[in-house]
Structure 1
Amino acid sequence: MCGVLVDSLGDARILSSQLKLDFAVLIGLSCCIPLLRFSLHRAAFQPLARRILYSSPVTKTTLVPAKTLNRVDKFCESLWKLTVYSVLLALGTYALHDQPWISNSNAFWEGWPDQSIPGKVKAYYAAEGAFYTASVFMLLLWEERRKDFWAMLLHHLVTFALITASYSLSYARVGSLIMLLHDPSDIFLEAAKLLNYAGLDPSATAAFAGLLCSWLLLRLTLLPFWVIRSCMFGVKDVLGYVPQYNIPLSGLLCVLVVLHTYWFSLIARIAWKQVTTGVASDSREDDE
């Protein structure tokens, strides 16, 4: 008995040390992300934005200089996010493409809580966690404030809480899939905004259609009716009980679904305006 207890305490110490190391890596990466963004902004994004916006026949004739400068900042912001979400999607696809839980929700819970986490899934977690940690501060101190600022801040905080809690409490399988479900819509969103800023309406409309479909399928169908349902009910079929952390974590996921529903209503409003008037504008923008 004493030997088992000593082994258990040793395992707990190793796990605690590993978590501390993992979170130290997360904090380090979080500090590097604003520096990376600043470097890319000055070296690549800003010159590219000025070149595209000042040479576009549409934006050059419809925007006054002050408004064009504001558009440059927003263009750079979308370029940054498109770059990050594309990298995260590629990393997530690589990390999860051969994992059983990407298509079988029962695999979320098999062997829980003693589940090993592949190194590539850890790397994916670190990248997502660092980005959303840094995003909270960049939203507050850097980015253009839009009408949905408080909703976006709540989204980033809830996402950060879910990433850190799911990793700490051995929910990395379900957590990694949730992250992967979110990235495609963000890519379509930022691509649509960039194309709209550049005055390329047909391409922007196509990207917007991809956003509408991916948002509805991934965030408003698979997330609530597959992932959250498994967290609240399906887990009992595998473990025979519902772990105590499933309920609060499912509650945070439901907050995300509420936010996704709010943003989907804005997306649908833009789509309706596009169909009825032929003009699409982001209602979150104060000056568009």
Structure 2
Amino acid sequence: MKTLSSTGWPDLSVRGGLLRQEYAIALGLTCCVPVLRYVLHGAVFQPAARRLFYTDGFKKAGKVPGKVIRLVDKFCESLWKLTVYATLLSLGLYALHDQPYLTDSTEFWQGWPSHSIPDKVKLYYAVEGAFYTASVFMLLFWEERRKDFNAMLLHHVATSSLIAVSYFFSYARVGSIVMLLHDPSDIFLEGAKICNYADWDLPATSLFAALLVSWLALRLVLLPFWVVRSCLFGVQHVLGYLPRYNTVMSAVLCLLIVLHVYWFSMIARIAWEKVTTGSATDTREDDD
């Protein structure tokens, strides 16, 4: 259990060994993520993509044009991310469905910093942290670089840092809600991309519409006006003071919101092109 030290910071010495153990588990999971992706890529995703995109003519010729190879790679990447985000959302709903702070932001701060974190929330944190930390390295060394590479890299670094630091400083309630708000939009995004790659127009359009609505509601309304607002103002009403590092945590969340606005502008542009011209292209893709 954490208590406030004389300096106003949580006294973490009483559970330092436990923290090291928990971070060691998260690090081990981080190392497992690329291995799991490699196995699923070879055993599931790539065979499925090849059956979908490789025509009989390509098979007989014994080779596949470069654009089709890239399409297979993109399809596999989206299948991996869809699998991960669906798993994370399921785990998040399981971990948080009975937590009072799921619907009441004042519960973020009740009893802070001496919060008891349920094991299922710890697991949710560890898996999310492992995925985003591993994603930094996979983005650098594995995945195809798109036009928003720098923004995506910044997002992954900020997210993995926020997960680690928020857990260390007893912001797990806030952090777990932030993670839960992010996963649904990612599911719709990857699902829409998969359908678009496969030329399944109606499912792609439906999932894209769900992406537009969920991104706006969860990332641009609930995140700033519920979570960040509570971090900036609600915490003082409950605790009577502002924790020393609260501003830093809020600043990182605001950075994520700026990135969300940047990506939402891309999503809105694609939606506008679809409505006005009947077709649209993902401005992140570079097929030159």
TM range (shorter): over 0.9
Q: What CA deviation, in whole Å up to 9, does each residue of 1:193-227 have, x standing for no partner?
A: 00000000111000000000000000000000110
1:208 aligned partner: 208
Alignment of 1:118-267 (within 5 A): 118-267=118-267
**Gaps in structure 2 of 5+ consecutive residues:** 6-10, 57-63
| 1:44 lines up with 2:44 in the alignment | yes
2:276 aligned partner: 276
How big is the shift at 1:54?
2.9
1:21 aligned partner: 21
1:101 aligned partner: 101
2:60 aligned partner: none
How big is the shift at 1:147?
0.1
SS of equivalent to 1:211: helix
Letter in 2 for 1:189: L
2:248 and 2:17 mapped to 1: Cα distance? Answer: 26
How big is the shift at 1:280?
2.2
1:61 aligned partner: none
How big is the shift at 1:50?
1.1
How big is the shift at 1:245?
1.3
Q: 1:72 to 1:165 in 2, by over 3 A?
A: same
Letter in 1 for 2:251: G
2:97 and 2:280 mapped to 1: Cα distance? Answer: 36
How big is the shift at 1:14?
4.2
- Name whichever of 83-92 and 276-285 sits farther off: 276-285
- Name whichever of 240-249 and 64-73 sits farther off: 64-73
Q: What CA deviation, in whole Å up to 9, does each residue of 1:145-192 have, x standing for no partner?
A: 000000000000000110000000000001000000000000000000
How big is the shift at 1:139?
0.2
% identical aligned pairs: 65
CA RMSD of aligned residues (A): 1.5
- TM-score with structure 1 setting the length: 0.92
2:8 aligned partner: none
1:104 and 1:13 mapped to 2: Cα distance? Answer: 30
1:213 and 1:53 mapped to 2: Cα distance? Answer: 30
Q: What CA deviation, in whole Å up to 9, does each residue of 1:240-281 have, x standing for no partner?
A: 111111101000000000000000000000001110111122
Aligned residues: 272
Q: Which has the higher helix share?
A: 1
SS of equivalent to 1:115: coil
Letter in 2 for 1:199: D
1:262 and 1:239 mapped to 2: Cα distance? Answer: 34
| 1:112 lines up with 2:121 in the alignment | no
How big is the shift at 1:55?
5.6
Q: Hey, which bits of structure 1, 4+ residues long, moved more than 3 A?
A: 11-14
1:120 and 1:98 mapped to 2: Cα distance? Answer: 11
**Gaps in structure 1 of 5+ consecutive residues:** 6-10, 57-63
2:254 and 2:199 mapped to 1: Cα distance? Answer: 36
| 1:65 lines up with 2:52 in the alignment | no
Q: What CA deviation, in whole Å up to 9, does each residue of 1:81-125 have, x standing for no partner?
A: 000000000000000000000000000000000010000000000
Letter in 2 for 1:193: K
